[in-house]
Amino acid sequence: MTDRFVFFISVTLITISILFSYSLSSFTILFYGYGEFHFMMRQIIAGILGVLLMWGISRCNPDRFILPFGFMLFLGGIFIMFIMHFLPESLATSAGGAKRWIRLPFFSLAPVEFFKIGFITFLAWSFSRKFSLVETKTLKEEFITFLPYVGVFLIAVYLIAVLQNDLGQIVLLGTTLAIMMIFAGSSFKLFLYLLSGAFGLFVVVIVTSAHRVARVKTWWAGVQDLVLSFFPASIANSLRVENLPEPYQVEHSLNAIINGGMFGKGLGNGLVKLGFLSEVHTDVILAGITEEVGFLGLIGVCVLFVVLIFKILKIANRCENTMYYLFCSGVAVLLGFSFLINAFGISGIIPIKGIAVPFLSYGGSSLIANSIMIGMVLAISKKSRMI
């Protein structure tokens, strides 16, 4: 039987997204001269389409649907992300000099959002064949088994981090890959070795990009006083970096959170959306939500996400099919870490990555892709055993 609770939580999050796409978009609407309900209507359309897709996919037979559909998104995503780099501006929209969206008649499509579904499907299928929760392998054997996945991940790095200049998505995919590998039965020692290698690659990608170095400097400007306060004065003074850029986004995000207090300023009464932060209804929506409905409202949103992740992991735990178990686990990891990366970014714990909050951030591609993932999990839930 389909897990209806997962469906209703997802629909609730979509409804919250529609509400705040109206409440938090006022400055952007005035600045660009859009109609009052411009963003809200677009999010309603994406929300309705997402709910219908979620419901429709949940009724499919997962044995016939999950693998072909997932591989279509995986291979199709690789092809589209490669060719759109060569498309003219009239067909591919740029951000920061990198093309990330395909222009369609009524909306723009972000292929990376759908590629992530295919990526999880590919890993679930392949890990279920290559790794075993019972069989024990030596570290060398595990390395040999994992090498092909390094090649697949480097393809993703090239397509997303290099061509699209989007390191945040690569961090998210790399985290998902590593944790799914543990779920599949690899050793923790291999995980630590790969984590070290990934960190080295991460540092190289940052230091070779001026705007990423600037983003790290901006983050350090906001946290260095707190971090250095734990060191003796002589050491702290030697480590302090002067003349750093102002952490503009984080400061205003934190101001919005503090300004919201326990109960918030009320829907539509937030101040951060009035030009202090651009497009609050997108990547910094958690700060906007907290200012308007308060810390209690944020806690409510967090509870919804925690329950959603818990229910997906529970479905995974009930799956007798290893591929389905890994797929549901991968979806839980992807959704959970997307939320955490965004929340940690706006609170200054890590540099802001530009990762959307699943279901909440404005954007049709992200919302529809997340709805498809949940629909696939719901389809799988029909095959899971009852506990």
Number of other CB atoms surrounding residue 268 within 10 Å: 11
Residue 148, pLDDT score: 87
HEC profile of 72-102: HHHHHHHHHHHHHHHCCCCCEEEECCEEEEE
Mean pLDDT score across all residues of the chain = 86
The radius of gyration of the chain from alpha carbons, rounded to an integer in Å, stands at 21
pLDDT in tens, 141-152: 778 888 888 889
Q: Write the CB contacts of 343 (distance below 8 Å, at least 6 apart in sequence).
A: 286, 357
Cα separation, 174 vs 132, whole angstroms: 21
Domain extent listing, the chain: 4-381
Query: Is residue 202 over pLDDT 80?
Result: no
Query: Is residue 134 over pLDDT 60?
Result: no
Residue 1: pLDDT band (50, 70, 90) is low
Write out the two tokens for 240: 């302090």
pLDDT in tens, 224-259: 777 777 778 777 777 777 776 666 777 788 888 888
Residue 387: pLDDT band (50, 70, 90) is very low
State mean pLDDT over 292-297: 92
Angle at 203 between CA 252 and CA 143, to 5 degrees: 130
Residue 80, pLDDT score: 92
- Highest mean predicted confidence (pLDDT) among 101-110, 162-171, 230-239: 162-171
Cα separation, 35 vs 40, whole angstroms: 10
Cα separation, 53 vs 59, whole angstroms: 10
User: Which residues make beta-bridge pairs with 108?
Assistant: 103
Pairing outcome for strands 92-95 and 108-109: unpaired
Query: Is residue 109 over pLDDT 80?
Result: yes
Residue 49: pLDDT band (50, 70, 90) is very high
% residues pLDDT > 90 (the chain): 41
- Compare 362 and 280 and report the one with higher pLDDT: 362
Query: Residues of 101-129 as b/e, b for ≥16 C-beta within 10 angstroms?
Result: bbeeeeeebbbbbbbbbbbbbbbbbbbbe
Cα separation, 122 vs 231, whole angstroms: 46
State mean pLDDT over 358-376: 94
Query: Is residue 358 over pLDDT 70?
Result: yes
- Compare 370 and 221 and report the one with higher pLDDT: 370
User: Which residues make beta-bridge pairs with 94?
Assistant: 99
Residue type for 168, please? Answer: G
